[in-house]
Structure formats: structure tokens, C-alpha cells
Amino acid sequence: MAKVHVFNAGPCLLPQPVIDASIEALKDFKGTGVSVLSISHRTKEWEATMNECRSLWKELLNIPDTHEVVFLGGGASLEFLYVAMNFLEKKAAYLDTGVWAHKALKEAQGIGEAYALACSKDKNYSYIPKGYEIPTDIDYFHITTNNTIYGTEIKEDIDCPVPLIADMSSDILSRPVDVSKYALIYGGAQKNAGPAGVIFAIIRKDALGKVSRYLPTMLDYRTHIEKESMFNTPPVFSIFVMNETLKWLKGIGGVEEMNRINNRKAATLYAEIDRNSLFTGTAAVEDRSIMNVCFVMAPGHEDLQDEFMAFSKERGMVGIKGHRSVGGFRASLYNACSQEDVEALVACMQDFEKLHK
């Protein structure tokens, strides 16, 4: 089979060593003679894996002792509800930078008073709002750091006078983060941290217990901190693969080295988009995501979109079709995507340009 280059927006491309380790664990988990799919989450072998996974998160992101890491099911979409249930007492503000940010806001509005402090919908979410002032009379300020559909990203940890909460589903572990600035960081694992089926939540412990409402046991973060993410049966296989992914990341040099690699990949692709006469980027240059590179056919060449899609597929490009709500193309450069993959896409774009000159 010819080599393929995977740019799917999610689930992510996983490193080959992680896939290989997962295959072996499917056969025999840590010499127990039992598949990881069948292992009891109460065995000492599994508890060791959970502890290792938690420790790797703390090590890779320099998570302070003020915070704890939990693993849950339900995806980041369920976390939208978790956030409001655990933190919204009177009023909350959200930065509306795309579909997922807007969905998070909508979920909070079902619980209490929540509003968009700033919004970039006026230009189809092609930029990150700036110049807003964060009020001090809110319970928390919520941001979505990377917007997979529109290709914009908040690349720096903002200073916030109130508890700061961030959905980092699609850029976690791609760059260093000052965790101490956040009351909560959460996200689905299926971009950079593992397969679909598990979410991570990095919680400042003293930020909890501030709401007066009844919290259902399963929706109370304190439940999962106290029970070390095993109040109920955890998504064992997804956490196993996450742990292997974190081990791989540590092995290549950690988050700092990954950030260097990711910036190089993104710079390579953006340079070609800016150079190539047939393509143009869609996100404001200063807000371009290093994870999700979005682009379209340049004005006057819109009729070539389907042709390029077929052309790129023939050359092994997988997953570059843009989200159905915006069209065009999107190359997701998550951690396991290599420089070689990016250069193959660039060569494909160059060859297509030559055909139409």
C-alpha cells in the first residue's frame, strides 16, 4: 500500500510506537495474560498505569500541587455542562471564537447567567477578539484556546482577574502552558493526547465547592478527584493509549520540543499557502493556529476545489477536506503528524499549481 499522510481533525493520528504498544496490550496487558480490554480496573497493574498517566501529565505540563488531574468519559461536550455546574454561581463570561466555544456558552446559559464578552462571528470566526476587558464580577471567564473549524488559536496564557477556564481539546500538549493561571483546563484526548473516549481535566482544587446548587455525584469534580478517576469504571483502553502517547511525547523531548516541531510544521505549510497562486488562508495571520491550518482556493480559482481534492487523494493525502460548515481545506498538524507529512502536502500543492499555470 502507498504511504498515506493523515491530516484528520479528529480522532488524531497516533504515533506508531503507541499503536504497536496498544496492539501488544490487546493481546496481553503487562504479563497478566489478560487483554487490556478485559483487565479489571481494580488490579494493581491497572492502578499503576493510572498513576503513571496522571504523573506524566503533571510532569509534561509542570502542573503544580494546587491542581489535580482526572480522566472522565463523555467528551468535551459533556465538560461544557461540568464547567457550568461546578463553577457558575451568579454570572460567567465566555469568549465566543467558534462553534465549540459557542456550544460551551449555550450549555452554561441553560444553568445560569452567561454571556459572550467578545465574539468574532462577524468575520466568520476568522480572528481572535482583542481589546476586551474582563470584568471582576463574574464567577469565571471561559476560553477555547484552539478553534479546529476556523483555524485560529490563542497561543499565550492570558492574565485574568477571575478564575480562568479553558477548553484545550485541540492544542493541549502542543506547547508549554502555565497551568497556575487556570482554574480548569479540560478537553477531549482525541487530538494530541490519545484516542477518543476519554477526557482530561486539570483542576485547581481550591476553586471547587463555591456553588450553592446541588451537584449530581457524577457531575461533581470533587467526586473524581477523591476517587482518583475511578468512582465508576474508567475508559480503560483509552487511558492506556493516552498513557502510551504521553510516554512517547516525553521520549521525544517533551512539550517544549514538541512546540518547536509544531511551529516548524505550521510555518512550512503556511509559507506554501501564502506563496501558491491557487490557495489562500482563511484565518487572520496573527491568529493562525499551529494545529489546524485552514485554507481555500484563491479568488478566481474556486472551480478547482473538487479537482484538488481528488488530486490530493491520489497522492495519499487523508482528511484535508474542510469542515462542512466552512468548506475549503483543513490540514490538522497534531503532534503525531510529521514534518515529512507536511512536506508531502506542500509538494502536492506545488504540483497542482504547475498543472494550472
Q: How far apart are CA 163 and CA 67, in angstroms?
A: 13
User: Is 167 known to be catalytic?
Assistant: yes
Catalytic hit among 57, 155, 191, 265: 191
Tell me how far apart the alpha carbons of residues 339 and 321 are, in angstroms, rounded to a whole number: 20
Residue pair 89/212 in contact (Cβ under 8 Å)? The answer is yes
Q: Distance (Å, rounded) from C-alpha 296 to C-alpha 162?
A: 38
Task: For residue 93, give the nearest of 157, 158, 137, 145 by alpha carbon.
Answer: 137
The single residue of 96, 167, 171, 287 carrying the catalytic annotation is: 167
**Helical segments of the chain, H only:** 16-27, 44-60, 75-87, 99-109, 221-226, 236-251, 254-275, 305-314, 339-355
C-alpha cell at 286: 496573527
Whole-number Å distance between alpha carbons of 126 and 296: 13
Residue 46 annotated among the catalytic residues of the structure:
no
Secondary element (H or E) of residue 92: strand 91-96
Counting beta carbons within 10 angstroms of the beta carbon of residue 181, is it exposed (0 to 12), middle (13 to 18) or buried (19 or more)?
A: middle
C-alpha cell at 264: 516548524
Based on the residue annotation, tell me whether 139 is a catalytic residue of this protein.
no
Q: Kindly name the residue from 46, 57, 96, 100 that is annotated as catalytic.
A: 100
Catalytic machinery residues:
100, 167, 191
